[in-house]
Amino acid sequence: MNIQGRPTRTIRPLADRGGVEIIDQTLLPHRLEFRVLDDLEAAAEAIATMRVRGAPLIGATAAYGLALAMIADASDDALRAARDRLLATRPTAVNLRWALERMQGRLEPLPLGERAEAAWTEAAAICDEDVALNQAIGRHGMDYLKWHHARKVGSGAAGVNVMTHCNAGWLATVDWGTALAPVYLAHDAGIPLHVWVSETRPRNQGAALTAWELAQHGVPHTVIADNAAGHLMRGGRVDLVIVGADRVAANGDVANKIGTYLKALAARDNEVPFLVAVPGPSIDWRLPSGAEIPIEERAAREVTHIQGRGEAGVQSVRLTPERSPAANPAFDVTPARLVSGLITERGLCAASREGLLGLYPEAEAGWPGTLQ
């Protein structure tokens, strides 16, 4: 992505290895501020408080968090303590565990003196691979968007209307995004499209982050209240829905931001294709179904309060009566039967065990890079 005309990744190692620079996403869209994470604790705090968020970026930040821990102390005890600290930050996105297990598997066999260097290299490799995976998802998804566009042109209609939920764009990954990568590539290829951006209460990642990055890239879009999605689908104003995933179980069930399930239900009722963009590291082959996916419960304050920019700058204001309790499940599980297809870096497949194994046959023998 270009920020103020400069190609920018969401996480960038400093040349002296003194830390990594991230964008503090809690301040967007009101302020674009970069922040340096210079030790394990800073990385863990950034993930837990959602300065960085989105499944792939959580994994990438955790990898660098572990690398920073290795610079301070490369012992086995420090390695395991750092892994446990980072693993405890957010439970639903499986990329966190995937990245930490990959780092641990790479570092544990090495002599202590080689670990810091190897950790830094491995974290950088995770980031580079994320970019490549997302570009591949983008290419496959763009072909699908082109097909939709051709169909619409045939019927005399204008551009393709895509709906998305939460933020599965550039900000949720190292670059490009998953659900938004096809949108960016199609837009750049001259395919006319428009994105319905659902606000995504309670933290409003759609309204704050997706809208911001689509605007940076010049993609036409409209922010809607979450509750408008069904109405728009029913009115024929949505050609397809594309969302991201925090974890896809081996049977194709999808955990994603709370509210995704409701969109899938509305899409099914209105015969709108419902696609999930998912890179390999977001597939959890160890879970037979979505029923076992841990759902993060976040602070009630995210529901009782809302953040915005007022006269006094960025501030948080109360929405609810003082005495009303609030619950805040951050993710939900959409059953595979409601998912029209998965867009992976290896192509499109059905949301099913057979569909996934058709693209990842090696998963039968254990997923590479994970410790069993």
Enumerate binding residues for ligand MRU (CB under 6 A): 53-56, 93, 166, 168, 172-173, 177-178, 205, 244-246, 256-257, 330
Smallest gap from Cβ 275 to ligand MRU, in A, equals: 13
Phi-psi region of 259 (alpha: psi -120 to 50; beta: other; left: phi over 0): left
- Can you tell me the distance from the alpha carbon of 254 to that of 125, in angstroms, rounded to the nearest whole number? 26
Residue with structure tokens 């995004």?
Answer: 177
Are 174 and 10 in contact, with CB atoms under 8 Å apart? yes
Smallest gap from Cβ 8 to ligand MRU, in A, equals: 17
Smallest gap from Cβ 32 to ligand MRU, in A, equals: 18
Q: Which residues of 246-262 are buried (b: 16+ CB within 10 A; e: fewer)?
A: bbbbbbbbbbbbbbbbb
Cβ proximity to ligand MRU: between 161 and 210 the closer is 210
Cβ proximity to ligand MRU: between 78 and 328 the closer is 328
Task: Return the closest-CA partner of residue 350 out of 342, 361, 358.
Answer: 342
Cβ proximity to ligand MRU: between 121 and 316 the closer is 316
SS3 217: helix
- Can you tell me the distance from the alpha carbon of 35 to that of 51, in angstroms, rounded to the nearest whole number? 9
According to DSSP, the β-strands at 341-344 and 347-349 are: antiparallel
Q: How does DSSP assign 256-274, residue by residue?
A: EETTHHHHHHHHHHTT--E
According to DSSP, the β-strands at 193-198 and 160-165 are: parallel
Cβ proximity to ligand MRU: between 116 and 333 the closer is 333
How big is the chain by its Cα radius of gyration, in Å? 20
Cβ proximity to ligand MRU: between 178 and 251 the closer is 178
- Can you tell me the distance from the alpha carbon of 179 to that of 164, in angstroms, rounded to the nearest whole number? 8
Smallest gap from Cβ 246 to ligand MRU, in A, equals: 5
Are 223 and 207 in contact, with CB atoms under 8 Å apart? yes
Cβ proximity to ligand MRU: between 20 and 172 the closer is 172
Paired strand residues for 222:
196
- Can you tell me the distance from the alpha carbon of 126 to that of 276, in angstroms, rounded to the nearest whole number? 22
Cβ proximity to ligand MRU: between 119 and 351 the closer is 351
Q: Which residues are catalytic?
A: 246
Smallest gap from Cβ 53 to ligand MRU, in A, equals: 3
Task: Return the closest-CA partner of residue 275 out of 200, 209, 350.
Answer: 350
Smallest gap from Cβ 281 to ligand MRU, in A, equals: 11
Strand order in the sheet with 240-243: 221-224, 193-198, 160-165, 240-243, 274-277, 341-344, 347-349
Residue in the shown chain whose Cβ atom is closest to ligand MRU: 244
Tokens for 54, please give them: 């989105």
Smallest gap from Cβ 44 to ligand MRU, in A, equals: 15
